[in-house]
Amino acid sequence: MAFEGLAEKLQSTFKKLTGKGKLSEKDVKEAMREVRLALLEADVNFMVVKDLIKKITERAVGQEIMESLTPGQQVIKIVNEELTNLMGGTQSKINIASKPPTIIMMVGLQGAGKTTTAGKLGGYLKRSGKKPMLVACDIYRPAAIKQLQVVGEKVGIPVFDRGQKDPVQIAAEAVSYAAKEQYDTVIIDTAGRLHINEELMDELRRIKDAVKPHEILLVVDSMTGQDAVNVAQSFNEKLGLDGIVLTKLDGDTRGGAALSVKAVTGKPIKFVGMGEKLEDLEPFYPDRMASRILGMGDILSLIEKAQASIDEKKARELEKKLRSQQFTLDDFLDQLQQIKKMGSLSDIMGMIPGVSKKLAGIELDDRQLVQTEAIIQSMTREERSNPSIINGSRRKRIARGSGTTIQDVNRLLKSFEDFRKMMKQMSGLEKAAKKGRFRFPFF
């Protein structure tokens, strides 16, 4: 995940501060030196780092911090607030037209993921109750129109195209068509270039003048670091942007673009791409991102992911099965598949306060989920319903079928049995509490 290296360094620095009863000005300045280096290594703009460190230091060496009972925690609070302000302060939403359709123009260089992001944004808006339409205005890149059509089909959104006609005319026709057919959002996928040039900018300006978009979103690849910030600055100067979409923020990126772009361009990050799936586009919340960087978790995003991924009806059925000890390996497999929809284990754990990618010294590995899934899928329906019948020969067959070892199969079966025992004990305690024979201290 983005910011992983930065997060580890900052958390290590602040751990030293919170371990001290009192802080001196020297302690704060030493910590800020480490923070400065960590930010520069994460490819954050030099001037942005300089300004940020100055603000934090001025606040952190104040009298209220030095005399506080928890000075280390107070410094972390200040850093959290300043990081949040640096990234925009609050979530920036899309500008919605007072009279539909809302016109969104997607711009950017080739390779940033603009066409896929247009589809992802359409899918996000559709899930939010909108009726979007995609428009193919990239007539130059081979198969660009076909790519948008494929993406549109996957997310269930129509694509308006007129082949190789003038992109300005296509955009204008698309807006008229959307108004007539009652589409409330038009997402225009414009052409990109390998680098910024006047020909590209002139075409984008003509489209802008023709359709008067309510939102111009620049799509940039966060893995390009400061280059992404420079691209954003150029597009904003020549075209005028309303917001930025950062792609590939789930990759092994240093994250400097996310921390620099608002300060340099004045334009907010509105969405971030967090994976390759078409559902992997999220609104950007500066406060939540700052909390995750500082190891304070992001419970709100975790809840939203769970609500979007977990079937409520299935959850109620599972609760009944757990209470009556009818939980089977089929149910266990179903739960694993729902967890996978939420994202990687390390990302999920990163949202829980105080939990890092390494939990109790064990590296969280998504391959373990895949392995568990393979083992259960290699069992017969009868074995999944009644694991007690799985003898030695069956274990050999399951291990062979799942490409694992007998030890892996044994480990899964033991974990499952331990879980069932625990649920049985909890159910027994709950029944005893209801009958009045057992009371929890807080009842």
pLDDT of residue 441: 38
Average pLDDT of span 363-367: 57
CA angle 305, 288, 3 (to 5 degrees): 95
133: left (phi over 0), alpha (psi -120 to 50) or beta: beta
User: Distance between CA 226 and CA 183 in Å, rounded?
Assistant: 37
The fraction of the chain above a pLDDT of 70, given in percent, is: 76
Centre a 10 Å sphere on the Cβ of residue 358 and count the other Cβ atoms it contains. 12
pLDDT of residue 323: 55
Whether residue 117 has pLDDT greater than 90:
yes
User: Distance between CA 412 and CA 253 in Å, rounded?
Assistant: 34
Laid out side by side, the sheet with 102-107 consists of 159-160, 132-137, 185-190, 102-107, 215-221, 243-247, 269-273, 281-283
Give 193's pLDDT tier (boundaries 50, 70, 90).
confident
Question: Helix, strand or coil for residue 412?
Answer: helix
Half-sphere exposure of 236 (CA within 13 A, CB side): 19
DSSP, residue by residue, 5-61: HHHHHHHHHHHHHHT-SS--HHHHHHHHHHHHHHHHHTT--HHHHHHHHHHHHHHHT
Q: List, in order, residues 6 or more apart from 184 with CB less than 8 Å away.
A: 100, 101, 102, 130, 131, 132
Whether residue 183 has pLDDT greater than 90:
yes
Whether residue 371 has pLDDT greater than 90:
no
Average pLDDT of span 285-312: 64
Domains of the chain: 4-86 (1.20.120.140), 102-296 (3.40.50.300), 304-435 (1.10.260.30)
pLDDT of residue 349: 55
CA proximity to 136, closest of 124, 125, 156, 151? 151
Burial class (CB in 10 A: 0-12, 13-18, 19+), 83: buried
Whether residue 360 has pLDDT greater than 50:
no
Average pLDDT over all residues of the chain: 80
Of the candidate ranges 43-47, 335-339, 396-400, the one whose mean pLDDT is the lowest: 335-339
Q: How far is CA 255 from CA 27, 45, 433, in A?
A: 27, 11, 51
User: Distance between CA 271 and CA 243 in Å, rounded?
Assistant: 9
CA proximity to 174, closest of 201, 145, 202? 145
CA proximity to 154, closest of 250, 245, 279? 279
Of the candidate ranges 5-14, 146-155, 305-314, 371-380, the one whose mean pLDDT is the lowest: 305-314
Of the candidate ranges 43-47, 62-66, 146-150, 220-224, the one whose mean pLDDT is the lowest: 62-66
Give 43's pLDDT tier (boundaries 50, 70, 90).
confident
Angle in degrees, 0-180, between the axes of helices 286-293 and 71-86, rounded to the nearest 10: 140
**pLDDT digits 0-9 by tens, 265-275:** 899 999 988 87
Whether residue 157 has pLDDT greater than 90:
yes
Output 139 or 328, whichever has higher pLDDT.
Answer: 139
Average pLDDT of span 317-329: 63
Q: Which amino acid is at 134?
A: L
C-beta of residue 261 within 8 angstroms of C-beta of residue 267: yes
Average pLDDT of span 131-153: 92
Of the candidate ranges 180-184, 210-214, 354-358, the one whose mean pLDDT is the lowest: 354-358
CA angle 14, 18, 23 (to 5 degrees): 100
**pLDDT digits 0-9 by tens, 54-113:** 988 888 876 556 555 567 777 888 888 898 999 888 888 898 998 889 999 999 988 888
pLDDT of residue 221: 85
Average pLDDT of span 309-321: 58
CA angle 306, 309, 310 (to 5 degrees): 75
Q: Which amino acid is at 250?
A: D
**pLDDT digits 0-9 by tens, 127-140:** 989 999 999 999 88
Give 166's pLDDT tier (boundaries 50, 70, 90).
very high
Burial class (CB in 10 A: 0-12, 13-18, 19+), 93: exposed
Average pLDDT of span 13-17: 79
Average pLDDT of span 411-434: 67
- pTM score, two decimals? 0.67
Q: List, in order, residues 6 or more apart from 214 with CB less than 8 Å away.
A: 94, 95, 96, 97, 102, 103, 104, 242
Question: Helix, strand or coil for residue 213?
Answer: coil
Place of tokens 């739960």: 335
Whether residue 432 has pLDDT greater than 80:
no
DSSP, residue by residue, 135-167: EEE--SSTTHHHHHHHHHHHHT--EE--TTS-H
pLDDT of residue 440: 36
pLDDT of residue 438: 40
Burial class (CB in 10 A: 0-12, 13-18, 19+), 110: middle
Strands 281-283 and 269-273: what pairing?
A: antiparallel
pLDDT of residue 331: 77
**pLDDT digits 0-9 by tens, 211-254:** 999 999 999 888 777 788 888 888 998 899 999 998 887 765 56
C-beta of residue 298 within 8 angstroms of C-beta of residue 354: no
